[in-house]
Structure 1
Amino acid sequence: MSAETAAEALATVPAEPGAPKPDPILVADDVVRRFGGMTAVDVGHLEVQRGAITALIGPNGAGKTTLFNLLTGFDQPNSGRWSFGGRSLAGVPAAKVARAGMVRTFQLTKALSRMTVMENMRLGAADQPGETFARALVPPLWRPRERAITAKAEELLDRFRLLDKKDEFAGSLSGGQRKLLEMARALMSDPEMVMLDEPMAGVNPALTQSLLGHIQALRDGGTTVLFVEHDMHMVRHISDWVAVMAEGRLVAEGPPGSVMANPAVVDAYLGAHHDTDLGDDALLSDEVAQELEAEAEAEARAHDEESR
């Protein structure tokens, strides 16, 4: 789904919390999570449009990451139900959620530092016959699949500009490169939906530009994207739809422009700079992006030399 198609699909959706979508891939109802006497999440109804980029924003402590954890099986709610592609995933463990086609990344990257970049990528692939003990003893049963997985991993690493790092330990990568690796690894299972938790946190400007392009490419390739982000410039620039949480509740939804102009959202979260737009002039020019990328690569090489 292209940006134009996603915008058309959402054009008639009312800008209000819990608004029904034309083709929701994820539907959640009455999801509640309490920690002691504090209610971290209390979402009455949320739908995520298939094939669109949806941003989930809100102040610190709004419950965004907790909601991610609940929906992806990394935490259990006190109550609630949700479905993905028409299949109930409430109470389903994280591994099965991922196999169902909904994968996530983390605010703090989960790359396995003492494994190589390629080994990290292979871990993300599904249907690996060599993982069973009996078949592992018979190489002809798993080697063809391993070759296919390796080829796919190399293709993704090349796309994310990490191919030259494939034999290096993941722990030797810079913070931004680890973000790229985690996103690339998430794509190894061909997910229908990717959930990104603050993908731009700690990433330098050159890699930010690259990540923006990758997220848009996911949407254009038909993958649904739901992401948590505090960078309002990024949210305004790439989102098709924005949902706002505050104190665990969904308080607003709509296109980026209308949500960021909502007085309640402005007062609660965006502050005095809500009208700062990220138009084409605000994006990095190709020349500047290339310069910053060269600097980033130089920093990465210096980082590699220090870690050796």
Structure 2
Amino acid sequence: MSTNTVPNGKPVKSTDLHIGAAEPGCKKRDPILVAEGVSRTFGGLKAVDVDHLEIPRGAITALIGPNGAGKTTLFNLLTGFDKPDTGSWTFEGKSLAGMPAYRVARMGQIRTFQLTKALSLLTVMDNMKLGAKGQIGENLFRALLPFLWRKQEEENEAKALDLLARFKLDEKKDDYAASLSGGQRKLLEMARALMSDPTLVMLDEPMAGVNPALTQSLLDHILNLKAEGMTVLFVEHDMQMVRHIADWVVVMAEGRVVAEGDPHEVMKNQAVIDAYLGQHHDEDLGADTEHVEAIKELLDDKL
């Protein structure tokens, strides 16, 4: 069992998040997202085959697994960027199955991408303002009447400036997004996501391609999301980072959920070791303590 404390936030014990044993598909005390029987096949490959999955509210959940486990495909399905072969899922008790991505976002479930989607030929500020929802000026008729939307535009710009300052991008507000470094684009995408006041933030490999100098900054921002009352679900490979910030871990392999639980306990799970390093049915690892320890150390590095 672990307890993660966040700035200005309450500690979360992994035992407070679930009901019964910590196992694949276990019930959560207060789930914000529930998926049931979700599957997606590409040709003869079943990329996602999730029987049941619940994401706990108010916590940081890490979705981990080897390459090709189906993590990003599951993200795409849950956020409306892809359509499943079977299954249903709910967010805040409302069905999202078949709902397009823009409507999912409007409901408060926002995602970022492993490859950032900043609009390169727009300025940083314009990228931020695009993230605001319910903009009056988006209507063609109302767009011709500035007095209807000018005040809202000013409020959105002030909010964007505040967020950019938090992410240390305020001095870049007039620069084109194309001029930002990879890490700065990650920060911009996360800041833009917050323009819509989301309830659930889904981050697809937020640390991928990020300069080590910005890694701690991104970690702090993820922790702050939780401190501000948001739920976070993120895909990550670095178990050191996962252990540092995650309250709960879900492990996928070959499209299925093979383990769930406390970050420190999951690392010791044989199903997780098998998923990352291959199954060892033909080898008696129990007779070779040094070999077992070497595998655990390798797992620690790879996760």
Query: What's the TM-score once normalised by structure 2's chain length?
Result: 0.89
Aligned residues of 1:105 and 1:197 also touching (Cα < 8 A): yes
Alignment correspondent of 1:121? 128
* Offset of residue 267 of structure 1: 2.8
* Offset of residue 5 of structure 1: 3.5
Alignment correspondent of 1:86? 93
Tell me the amino acid that sits aligned with residue 153 of structure 1.
A
CA distance in 1, matches of 2:20, 2:228: 23
User: Which of 193, 198, 203 pairs up with 2:205?
Assistant: 198
Aligned pair count reads: 278
> Does 1:77 pair with 2:102?
no
Aligned residues of 1:55 and 1:239 also touching (Cα < 8 A): yes
What does 1:1-308 correspond to in 2, within 5 Å?
2=9, 4-5=11-12, 7=14, 9-10=16-17, 14-269=21-276, 271=295, 272-275=297-300
* Offset of residue 37 of structure 1: 1.1
Aligned residues of 1:56 and 1:245 also touching (Cα < 8 A): yes
Write out per-residue CA displacement over residues 236-265 of structure 1, whole angstroms, 9 at most, x where no aligned residue: 110000000000000000000110111221
Give the secondary structure class of the aligned counterpart of 1:189. Answer: coil
Give the secondary structure class of the aligned counterpart of 1:217. Answer: helix
Residues 87 and 210 of structure 1: is their aligned pair in 2 closer, same or farther, counting only changes over 3 Å? Answer: same
Residues 13 and 228 of structure 1: is their aligned pair in 2 closer, same or farther, counting only changes over 3 Å? Answer: farther
Alignment correspondent of 1:294? none
Give the secondary structure class of the aligned counterpart of 2:234. Answer: strand
Tell me the amino acid that sits aligned with residue 246 of structure 1.
A
Aligned residues of 1:55 and 1:229 also touching (Cα < 8 A): yes
Tell me the amino acid that sits aligned with residue 249 of structure 1.
R
Tell me the amino acid that sits aligned with residue 164 of structure 2.
L
* Offset of residue 6 of structure 1: 5.4
Q: Percent identity?
A: 68
Q: Which runs of 4+ in 1 moved over 6 A?
A: none
* Offset of residue 273 of structure 1: 2.7
Aligned residues of 1:236 and 1:277 also touching (Cα < 8 A): no
Give the secondary structure class of the aligned counterpart of 2:257. Answer: strand
* Offset of residue 10 of structure 1: 2.0
Aligned residues of 2:79 and 2:101 also touching (Cα < 8 A): yes
Give the secondary structure class of the aligned counterpart of 2:46. Answer: strand
Aligned residues of 1:28 and 1:81 also touching (Cα < 8 A): yes
Alignment correspondent of 2:3? none
Give the secondary structure class of the aligned counterpart of 1:18. Answer: coil
Residues 112 and 6 of structure 1: is their aligned pair in 2 closer, same or farther, counting only changes over 3 Å? Answer: farther
RMSD of equivalent CA atoms:
1.7
CA distance in 2, matches of 1:114, 1:198: 24
Tell me the amino acid that sits aligned with residue 117 of structure 2.
K
CA distance in 2, matches of 1:180, 1:13: 37
* Offset of residue 98 of structure 1: 0.1
CA distance in 1, matches of 2:13, 2:231: 10
Aligned residues of 1:233 and 1:277 also touching (Cα < 8 A): no
Give the secondary structure class of the aligned counterpart of 2:194. Answer: helix
Bigger fraction of residues in helix: 1
Unmatched 5+ residue regions in structure 2?
Answer: 1-5, 278-294
Unmatched 5+ residue regions in structure 1?
Answer: 279-308
Write out per-residue CA displacement over residues 94-123 of structure 1, whole angstroms, 9 at most, x where no aligned residue: 000000110000000000000000000000
Tell me the amino acid that sits aligned with residue 129 of structure 1.
I
Alignment correspondent of 1:297? none
Residues 8 and 144 of structure 1: is their aligned pair in 2 closer, same or farther, counting only changes over 3 Å? Answer: farther
* Offset of residue 276 of structure 1: 6.2
Aligned residues of 1:6 and 1:52 also touching (Cα < 8 A): no
Give the secondary structure class of the aligned counterpart of 2:178. Answer: helix
Aligned residues of 1:3 and 1:240 also touching (Cα < 8 A): no
CA distance in 1, matches of 2:161, 2:245: 27
Query: What's the TM-score once normalised by structure 1's chain length?
Result: 0.87
